[in-house]
Structure 1
Amino acid sequence: MTQKIWTGRRQLLRLSLGGAALALLPDGATVEAALKRVSRFNDVAQAALFRPQTLAPTFAQSELTLPFRFNAFYSEASVPEIDEQQWRFKVDGLVRKPGAWTLKQLKALPPRTEITRLVCIEGWSAIGQWTGVPLWHFLALLGADISAKYVAFTCADGYYTSIDMASALHPQTMLAFGFNGQDSLPDEFGFPLRLRIPTKLGFKNPKHLTGLVVTNRFTSGYWEDLHGYNWFAGL
């Protein structure tokens, strides 16, 4: 019940803000232009409402969703096969220590395990246990400029997205490499590395990560560019 209230209030507020933004549009605005303005308005409003230390709900192991639902912009048969020995996670941009990390190096960092709910924009949700490196800690190791605006991600499956720095530094945001007690992620859920960010909708949780860039240049995301989804996508 707590989760439904927590999510529902923010959805209602986003809808209310969207209506307010529409009312401010000039009469001659096209539908497409109107939607873009509403989207930008929602992004700004959600960023203003975001509280960096407010935690998303966590759950008990008895509440895990089994089986966990697969979701991507392709079928499960098309999940990329990644060779761990060849894979590297490349970091660049506004960091003092750019470079490439192996999965073994990432797993050697102090891990965090948390059971949280992934909420899909399609209307379903699933609870899973995730283990990984808190992103704030990883950025600190890189010597990242945390005054930068964005952290952008690339993926082996062609997906891409970016998040605001405040969300990147949230204590529950992690680079996840383990799932439901397993040392590694199953292929279909993002092997070898994915972003897990329970304060945002599921499409802001990219899988099969290949790189991270700390930047002041806005780069949007796959679904934002394809279908005009709100970029901030907060819960």
Structure 2
Amino acid sequence: MSARRNRPAVGIAEIRPELERLRRRGFLRNALSLGGLTLLTGCDLATHSGVDAALEAIMRFDDRVQAALFSRQRLAATYEASAITRPYRFNAFYAEWQVRPVPDNWALAVSGQVADRRPWTLPALMALPQQGQITRHICIEGWSQIGQWSGVPLHVFLRRVGADLRARYVSFTCFDGYSTSLDMESALHPQTLLALDFVNQPLAPQWGAPLRLRIPTKLGFKSAKNLQAIEVTNKDPGGYWENQGYDQFAGV
């Protein structure tokens, strides 16, 4: 069976957001000339600070447009098992590409705007409803691969801990020093997982043991490995790459 998107045939109402996305990308590409940057920001491009400010303005504009076009009803493509990339590429954010062992007595901490802040052990997470997916991981460096994941839908977990779903962000910190965050709408997307298994086996350390975020509607740097804590908050928490200029929404 050929792989295809999990959605019915669409009409003009459904494709209009895609047309808007293409028009937006064309605008941003044209705006990235010096003249476009000057018109967009009115800043002095003779200094590096002016260029940085202009680029940051475009990134923030891009975030707002992506968020406006995002829909929980629009699913990322899923694939047959025959499409899984073998061998699956290991990736990490640190230069030495090291694998971090799981800390003794690991438990997932929960904080912020939630009713129940008790930590979660692996058995407790495995007792929650599980969901599987075969989806594509897309790296900002230009490569992609297809993997099979299963775990707890994040929206199920957030509701179980009594999270305030009106809050703006969900942040994730990891015991390897990494961090990232999602807007609440993306966190509640049905394909956003707290992944426990990779190709029907418990996560190995290189895939993010014991728990990782898997979100196929985002670029790969959002799918944080080695999760240690989740916080629900109204304050933009940023993240390892987000704090270095990557866009917050990072949709694909």
| Length-normalised TM-score, structure 2 | 0.85
Q: Which residue of 2 aligns with 1:36?
A: 56
Give aligned-pair identity as a percent.
52
The alpha-carbon distance between structure 1 residues 164 and 195, as it changes in their structure 2 partners (threshold 3 A), is: same
TM-superposed CA distance for 1:74, in Å, is 2.4
For 1:123-138, list aligned pairs within 5 A: 123-138=142-157
Name the structure 1 match of 2:66: 46
- Note if 1:205 corresponds to 2:223: yes
**Partner residue of 2:248 out of 209, 231, 234:** 231
Contact 1:176 1:194 in 2 (8 A): yes
Q: Distance in 2 between matches of 1:212 and 1:160?
A: 10
Report what 1:196 is aligned to.
Answer: 214
Q: 1:14 to 1:174 in 2, by over 3 A?
A: farther
Q: Is the 8 A contact 1:153 1:213 kept in 2?
A: yes
Matches within 5 A, 1:104-183: 104-182=123-201
Please state whether the residue corresponding to 1:52 is helix, strand or coil. Answer: coil
- What is the CA RMSD across the aligned residues, in angstroms? 2.2
Structure 1 residue 15: Cα displacement: 3.3
Distance 2:21 2:92 in 1: 23
Q: For 1:234, what is the secondary structure of its paired residue?
A: coil
Corresponding position of 1:187: 205
- Aligned partner of 2:108 in structure 1 is 89
Distance 1:17 1:104, change over 3 A: farther
1:15 aligns with 2:25: yes
Matched residue type, 2:123: K
Q: Deviations over 1:149-173 (max 9, x none)?
A: 0000000110001100000000000
In structure 1, distance between residues paired with 2:21 and 2:132: 27
Assess if the C-alpha contact under 8 Å between 2:4 and 2:79 holds in 1: no
Matching residue of 1:24: 40
Which region of structure 1 is more displaced relative to structure 2, 71-80 or 208-217? Answer: 71-80
Tell me if structure 2 keeps the 8 A contact 1:70–1:188.
yes
Q: Is the 8 A contact 2:91 2:97 kept in 1?
A: no
What is the total number of aligned residue pairs between the two structures?
229
Give unpaired runs (5+ residues) of structure 2. 6-14
Report runs of 4+ in structure 1 exceeding 4 Å deviation.
8-14
Letter in 2 for 1:95: V
Cα offset, 1:105, TM superposition: 0.8
Q: Give the Å deviation of 1:214.
A: 0.4
- C-alpha separation between the residues in 1 aligned to 2:251 and 2:20? 8
2:200 counterpart SS class: coil
Tell me: CA distance 1:10–1:222, structure 2 relative to 1, closer, same or farther (3 Å): farther
